[in-house]
Each structure stands twice: as structure tokens, then as C-alpha cells.
Structure 1
Amino acid sequence: SQMDAEPPRAFNTAPVERVGAILNYSASGIRDDVLEGLQESDSDFADAVRKAIFTFPNIPHRLNGIDVPKVTRDVDAATLATAIAGARSEEEASACEFLLENMSKRMAQGLRDEAAEKGSVKSRVAEEAMNAVVSAIRNLVAAGEIELLSPDEAEDDG
């Protein structure tokens, strides 16, 4: 019986999921630095962590377009407009465009107009808005209302 007895586990999830969960909530600069360091020391682990992460730029690859209205219901228009106005990278702009294309034309135009009125927003404010969108998506996943595509499915589609 002692041979079969397994010691209690300190964590319920594997290291990849734990690191991914931490990096999900980290600032993008810190996340990029950590991933770069992981890539240098253990590229297989770094690749697995990249697949475990779900951030704003991952939205077009992991979120089903038909689920966008559920997300927009949980995120206020001002936050969405701030995220759109604050998109700096090509990946962030792609995520914004994906969201806009998968909502009603009227709502999308309203958000585009509001984002244009905001002009340039501080990167910290933009990142907070993007994190609010991602958090709403994670909450919908946790509630079982939507499912994210696995990174492997997303690679097959793209």
C-alpha cells in the first residue's frame, strides 16, 4: 500500500498551464521577456507555454466568430472602443478587426467612431481595456457559455 500511495500534489495543474496562467495576467512586456528567456533555455517548454497562453492577440485564432456577440454583451462599449483605439501591433489590430467583423455592422461602426474620437490612448490604458476583453472571454469559458479553439485547431485552420 505504501508503494501505491501517491504523495499529495502541491498543484492541480501541470507546469505549462501554471506558467501560462501567470503570463496571461502579466503585462505584455514582461510576458514577452519571460517567453524569450524560456525560449533560450528550453524551447519545447516555451512552445508549450505559448500554446497555453490566451491573450488579446490570440482572439482571432482561438475565439469562434459566432461567440463575439456574447463577449460584446459582457464588455461595455467604452472598454471595447478603448481597446480598438489602443491597438498598436499588427496582432492587436487583427484581433480588433476580428471582433468588429463578427458583430452587428451598426455596433461595429459605433465602436469605430468612438475609437476614432478617443484618438491615441496610453498603452497602459489600452492594455487594461484589452485585458478586460480577455477576462470577459475567460469568464464565459469558465461559465461554459463558449469554448475556445485549441491552439492546435487554430494552427490547422490558419
Structure 2
Amino acid sequence: MTGGITPEAVERIGVSLAAQLDARPARAFDEEPVKRVGAILDFSRAVTRDEVLEGLEQTDSAFAARVRRAIFTFADIPARLDGRDVPKVLRSVDQPVLVTALAGAAAAGLGEPAAFLLSSLPSRLSGTLREEMEALGNPDPREVESAMAEVVAAIRRMEAARQITLATPPAPDTS
């Protein structure tokens, strides 16, 4: 059916398509909305993150589900960070910050991520960190949340630099 098309017609189609591509406005953001909202919520306080997600859930549950998958928090570390990458990541976090995050993790209900991080380190380093955690006691919850955010930021920086790869979170169960 296209055998009778003239070269002039093909050229006009090509020029038309090129004009449409050039007519697209420049984008203000490189990332799609889900990734941008997820990145903001990665570093938001837990209370704020939960409130925003609840609001999103009420207005657009499909978008909220996609944002939940895009978020990476301290709690997500065991499921998404490869244990072999833990030493590399933790070297990029100041030790007092790391000790604060780990010491306060159990009180914040995040003992599993802390245990995962410690078990992924050489035993000597893990032992030293445990001693420092014990000496620190129970740090202020705001300091703990800030320290956890720094650990997450270090992981995200390394992921962005392609030094590590995070596992993709499982899709939400829609059944």
C-alpha cells in the first residue's frame, strides 16, 4: 500500500515530525514526579513522610503506591542493600554519626537494619562499633533520625555515582 508514495511526501512527513520534536518545551526537571517526590520523602522526618503518604493515598492511591516504591529509608536497608556493599557505604559515613544511627535504631524500632549493617562488617569493626554504641547509651531521637538520614544519603550518593546498586523494591500486592 505504500509503494506509490513519492519521495516528496516522505520528506514532508519527516520535516513535520522533526518540527514536532523541536516544538516540545524544555523540561524543568530531569526526573519523573514519582522519583522527585520519593527523593524528597527519603530525607523527610518519618512523621512528615507518613502524613504526605497518607494525603497522597487519599487523593491518588496509584501515585502514592509508586512513591512508596521509590522511597528508600533506613528501614529499607536490609531488603535493598547488598551486604557486600555495607563496608564501602559505611566508610563514607562519619563514625560518630554511624554510632548514633546504630545506637538509636533499636529504640526507633529499627533493630533489623542496624543488625544487618553490623553483621555485614568485619567482626573486629563490628565489635568496636558495638562498644561505642554501648558507651553512647540512648541518643536523642532527633539526633538518631538525622544520623539515619545521613546513612541513607550516603547510600543514595553511592547509588547515583553507580558505585553500588540497590535492589528494586517488590511491587505492592494488588490482590
TM-score (norm 2): 0.81
* 1:152 Cα deviation after fit: 2.9
> How many angstroms apart in 1 are the aligned matches of 2:89 and 2:26?
38
* 1:77 Cα deviation after fit: 2.3
Q: Is 1:151 the counterpart of 2:169 in the alignment?
A: yes
Q: 5+ unaligned residues in a row in structure 1: which ranges?
A: none
| Matching residue of 2:108 | 89
Q: Structure 1 pair 107/78, CA: closer, same or farther in 2 (3 Å)?
A: same
| Matching residue of 1:109 | 127
1:31 is matched with which residue: 49, 61, 73? Answer: 49
Tell me which structure has the larger Cα radius of gyration: 2
> How many angstroms apart in 1 are the aligned matches of 2:135 and 2:144?
15
| Matching residue of 1:54 | 72
> How many angstroms apart in 2 are the aligned matches of 1:111 and 1:61?
22
CA shift digits 1:35-73 (9 cap, x unpaired): 111112222111100111111111111100100010121
Aligned residues: CA RMSD: 1.7
Q: 5+ unaligned residues in a row in structure 2: which ranges?
A: 1-15
| Matching residue of 1:124 | 142
Q: Which amino acid aligns with 2:78?
A: P
Q: Structure 1 pair 38/114, CA: closer, same or farther in 2 (3 Å)?
A: same
| Matching residue of 1:20 | 38
Identity percentage of aligned residues = 48
| Matching residue of 1:71 | 89
| Matching residue of 1:7 | 25
| Matching residue of 2:151 | 133
* 1:135 Cα deviation after fit: 1.3
SS at 1:86 equivalent = helix
Which stretches of structure 1, 4 residues or more, deviate above 4 A after TM superposition?
none
> How many angstroms apart in 1 are the aligned matches of 2:97 and 2:20?
55
* 1:145 Cα deviation after fit: 1.2
* 1:3 Cα deviation after fit: 4.1
CA shift digits 1:78-137 (9 cap, x unpaired): 2111101111333x2111111011001111121111111111111111111111111111
